Amino acid sequence: MICDNCGKNRAFERKMTHTYGKGKGLILIEKIPVIDCPDCGEQVLTAKTIKEIENIRRGRDKQLKQRFVPVTQFA
């Protein structure tokens, strides 16, 4: 798809994992769709995606309390 930033047609959608907030408010969201452009390095979240993230963060205490566990790696 076309990159909004540089106009080249090499951007593609991929899923990424991102953490928001910190301390007790920390939340890890997996499979966030981002538009990734290899030419200019731009990563764009659509307005719909941003809104959905806001909804997830707002509803975190109700919906995700049971599921949320700190994520780390066994080195």
From the list 2, 14, 21, 39, which residue makes contact with Zn ion (rule: CB under 5 A)? 39
5 binds Zn ion (CB under 5 A): yes
Q: Report CA-CA distances (Å) from 49 to 15, 30, 35, 53, 71.
A: 11, 12, 11, 6, 23
The Cα 35–Cα 26 span in angstroms is 24
From the list 27, 28, 34, 40, which residue makes contact with Zn ion (rule: CB under 5 A)? 40
> How many residues make contact with Zn ion (CB under 5 A)?
7
Piece in contact with Zn ion (CB under 5 A), picked from 15-23, 25-33, 37-45, 58-66:
37-45
Give me the residue label for tokens 């659509």. 46
Per CB under 5 A, residues contacting Zn ion are 3, 5-6, 37, 39-40, 42
